[in-house]
């Protein structure tokens, strides 16, 4: 039986959460979505940019890139989990993916808006490195912690990750505020994230055990990995409640994961919110998420997991409907934003021609341009403020249910699992389901936005996914009442 390792090893293991959680918050959630759309639009003077010989909306391309990364991850996931379960060299694989992800983040410093291919490749490498290293990081937990200590130690890793990512977020925010070159300040953030990730990971790699390779019968990790998926799938099909619950989880995860990933794009690209306000809002959402997760855990004790999940998914539907209405209001202001963008471009062009103009001519043209720009911004403000406040309310709602639905979903799955010693295979199947949901969600969001020209229309599909998830949860609850399994 596994005994819990020393405090030094436990703290070192948890430090990897501190190291790599900065990718999730700083890169995918906050700074990189803003930078990617702003930098490409600035370089190409349009939101439609060339990529692989075709014109693609920059926010759609961001969604496609993340979908591509998670598609590769989903295909490799059974193999990676098989390696983690059957090989003793998981630390080496963890290091490989860690350095790949950190390098991808730091290399984003070289992405200046015009070299789109480099930006997409580095973003994909960073995403794959994050998820790939997480597989082996999680696989170390049962090796360093006794079963009765695993929840406590896992929570310690989560808390380390939260503190580290918020700290890095604040450092990045200070850079953005203090530096006049906003693009450079964001690129420095990407460089710092990679250095932070690889640097603090050394604490983890210094203390994790170097397990010897298991000299059991030779195994084909590809065959074993996909065989495990087929085995769990066959078993889940026989379990009425778990089967329905997983279907519900799959559909509402499409919505949840997509919203968490594109929320910054929604605020920046569609609602035209100020970047500084967006960053502050995202940090506050992380704080609200802690309260929401605690509150949801208390509700589940009183009303049961599935019933609370149904209420939360229904709340997500309300959030999506509200976002759709807000997006419609924002689209009505497009003429204002287009005119302001045109005047700002004129200002930039005027500054470039300053040396070719007489001081008097430049001052006259500059004063005229600034006056018109100021007038348009003044006329926009009373219409923009309600949209801004609506976004803050939406962000508050997302924060309340964001962390809780993830933790409650996982604990519900754990309770519904059949008695088995092979818990690793079941949780690998659960994680694979979530990865595929991210692929479908991000691709759908990007594709609908691309063909219709608006993120607003993609929200309709998210509502459909949430409703499907809600229906399957209701089916699981109905089936549960007829089965002798424990009520959750």
Query: Which sign does the torsion angle of CA 202, 206, 207, 209 carry?
Result: positive
pLDDT at position 2 is: 63
pLDDT at position 423 is: 65
Parallel, antiparallel or unpaired: strands 54-57 and 48-51: antiparallel
User: Is the per-residue pLDDT at 16 higher than 90?
Assistant: yes
Residues 6+ apart with CB under 8 A from 263: 29, 282, 395, 398
Smallest CA-to-CA distance from 281 within 38, 23, 30 is with: 30
Element (H, E) at 12: helix 7-22
pLDDT at position 215 is: 43
Calculate the average pLDDT of the chain.
86
Q: How large is the average pLDDT for residues 80-96?
A: 77
Q: How large is the average pLDDT for residues 303-316?
A: 91
Backbone phi, then psi, for 483, in 5-degree steps?
A: -110, 150
- In terms of average pLDDT, the best of 150-164, 348-362, 458-472 is 458-472
Q: Which of 96-110, 143-157, 271-285, 425-439 has the lowest mean pLDDT?
A: 143-157
Under a CB-based contact definition with an 8 Å cutoff, are residues 116 and 62 in contact? no
Measured distance CA(422)–CA(141) in Å, rounded: 15
pLDDT digits (tens, 9 = 90+) for 193-223: 999 999 999 999 999 887 655 544 556 767 7
Beta strands in 304-415 (DSSP E): none
CA angle 19–407–420, rounded 5-degree value: 100
The confidence band for 450, taking pLDDT boundaries of 50, 70 and 90, is very high
pLDDT digits (tens, 9 = 90+) for 183-195: 999 999 999 999 9
User: Is the per-residue pLDDT at 87 higher than 70?
Assistant: no
pLDDT at position 85 is: 64
3-state secondary structure of 218: coil
Q: How large is the average pLDDT for residues 29-49?
A: 90
pLDDT at position 88 is: 62
Query: Which sign does the torsion angle of CA 256, 443, 98, 250 carry?
Result: positive
The confidence band for 86, taking pLDDT boundaries of 50, 70 and 90, is low
pLDDT at position 191 is: 96
- What b/e string do you get for 115-131 counting C-beta neighbours within 10 Å, with b at 16 or more? ebeebbbbbbbbbbbbb
What are 326's two structure tokens? 């807000």
Bridge partners of residue 48, in order along the sequence: 57
Backbone phi, then psi, for 100, in 5-degree steps?
A: -65, -45
């Amino acid at each position: 039986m596994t005994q819990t390792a020393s405090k030094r090893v436990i703290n070192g293991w948890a430090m990897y959460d501190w190291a790599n959680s900065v990718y999730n918050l700083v890169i995918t959630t906050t700074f990189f979505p803003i930078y990617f759309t702003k930098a490409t639009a600035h370089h190409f003077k349009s939101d439609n940019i060339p990529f692989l010989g075709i014109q693609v909306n920059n926010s759609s391309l961001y969604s496609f890139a993340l979908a591509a990364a998670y598609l590769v991850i989903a295909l490799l996931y059974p193999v990676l989990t098989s390696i983690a379960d059957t090989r003793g060299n998981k630390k080496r694989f963890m290091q490989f993916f860690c350095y790949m992800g950190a390098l991808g983040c730091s290399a984003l410093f070289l992405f200046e808006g015009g070299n789109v291919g480099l930006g997409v490749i580095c973003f994909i490498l960073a995403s794959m490195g994050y998820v790939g290293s997480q597989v082996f990081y999680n696989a170390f937990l049962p090796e360093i912690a006794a079963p009765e200590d695993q929840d406590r130690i896992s929570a310690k890793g989560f808390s380390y990750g939260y503190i580290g990512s918020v700290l890095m977020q604040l450092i990045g925010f200070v850079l953005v505020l203090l530096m006049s070159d906003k693009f450079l300040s964001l690129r420095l953030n990407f460089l710092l994230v990679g250095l932070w990730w690889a640097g603090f990971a050394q604490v983890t790699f210094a203390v994790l055990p170097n397990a010897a390779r298991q000299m059991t019968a030779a195994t084909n990790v590809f065959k074993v990995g996909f065989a495990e998926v087929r085995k769990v799938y066959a078993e889940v099909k026989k379990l009425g409640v778990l089967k329905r619950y997983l279907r519900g989880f799959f559909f509402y995860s499409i919505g949840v994961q997509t919203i968490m990933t594109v929320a910054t794009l929604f605020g920046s690209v569609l609602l035209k919110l100020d970047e500084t306000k967006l960053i502050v809002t995202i940090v506050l959402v992380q704080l609200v998420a802690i309260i929401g997760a605690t509150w949801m855990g208390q509700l589940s004790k009183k009303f049961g997991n599935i019933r609370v999940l149904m209420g939360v998914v229904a709340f997500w539907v309300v959030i999506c409907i509200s976002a759709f209405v807000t997006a419609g209001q924002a689209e009505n202001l497009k003429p204002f934003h287009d005119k302001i963008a045109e005047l700002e471009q004129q200002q930039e062009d005027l500054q470039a021609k300053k040396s070719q103009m007489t001081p008097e001519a430049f001052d006259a043209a500059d004063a005229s341009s600034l006056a018109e720009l100021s007038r348009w911004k003044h006329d926009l403000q009373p219409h923009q403020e309600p949209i801004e406040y609506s976004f803050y309310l939406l962000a508050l709602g997302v924060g309340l249910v964001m962390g809780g639905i993830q933790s409650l979903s996982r604990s519900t799955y754990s309770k519904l699992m059949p008695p088995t010693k092979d818990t690793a295979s079941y949780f690998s199947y659960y994680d694979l389901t979530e990865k595929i949901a991210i692929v479908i969600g991000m691709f759908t969001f990007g594709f609908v936005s691309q063909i219709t020209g608006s993120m607003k229309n993609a929200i309709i599909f998210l509502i459909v996914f949430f409703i499907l998830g809600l229906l399957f949860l209701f089916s699981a609850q109905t089936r549960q009442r007829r089965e002798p399994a424990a009520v959750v």
